[in-house]
Amino acid sequence: MDIFQSIILGIIEGFTEFLPISSTGHLIVASHFLNIDQTSVTKAYEVIIQFAAILAVILNYREKFTIKKIDLWTKVFLAFIPIGAIGFLFSHQIKELFSINVVAIMFIVGGIVFLIVEKFFIKEDKVYIDNVEDISLKQSMIIGFAQIFALIPGTSRAGSTIIGALLVGLNRKASAEFSFLLAFPVMSAVTGYDLLKHYHEFSDANLMVLAVGFVVAFFIAYLTIKLFLKFLERFTFVAFGIYRIIFGVVLLLLFS
């Protein structure tokens, strides 16, 4: 992997990680067209850019990373338990699901779900929770179970948690914010596991390539979080639903 490839993948990871459009699917396509093979360098790179995304969440929500917010984090970690348990117990079976066709189909399915939710379940005259700290333990647990669908490649962790949050009564912005916060324990667990598994591969990696990828992914992720929330103040998730369907169809046409 060279500097140019590192920049491109860093941009894609930073931009797609917190949007409901699946970073995995976009990185697959980008890696294919950039002719990037899965080597020790790419494994180390994946760990680095995941860590960058975690830091972007911490910096954006630094006021919530205090002991005073223990109630909020109790709910966040409660929502983490389902995907943590299922992901740990069935990691090998989950890996077997991975294929371009599965990713493409789940892009399309996810897009349709977003359109259905926006059309039939979101009512503009209904009062929704607009502060993530007001979410109940029951609501957080339901969102946690919705996040399990993210284990299917192409579903999108952000997408599944946002749908779950919308259905239990959070507004669009609060749904996105809870998804961002929930990314912290999920991605910390994934990054920690990958680091323990692939730490020796950092010795083979070009540190400059890793550093560039880290900086780019962090900067783009930080901006994406802020811009996404601004977007949701005025618009719905319909555009993301349509985009997912189009992207999934393109994937099927390109790789089938």
Name the pLDDT band for 232 (thresholds 50, 70, 90): very high
Residue 94, pLDDT above cutoff 90: no
> What is the per-residue pLDDT across 6-46, written as a single tens digit (0 to 9) for each?
899 999 999 999 999 988 778 878 887 888 876 656 767 77
pLDDT on residue 85? 94
Percent of the chain with pLDDT over 90: 62
**pTM for the structure as a whole:** 0.92
Sequence length of the chain is: 256
Annotate 77-95 with b (16+ C-beta within 10 A) or e (fewer): eebbebbbebbeeeeeeee
State how far the Cα of 225 lies from the Cα of 220, in Å rounded to an integer: 9
pLDDT on residue 202? 63
Burial of 167 from C-beta contacts in 10 A (0-12 / 13-18 / 19+): middle
Among 120, 106, 200, 100, which Cα is nearest to 152's?
Answer: 106
Per-domain residue ranges for the chain? 3-255
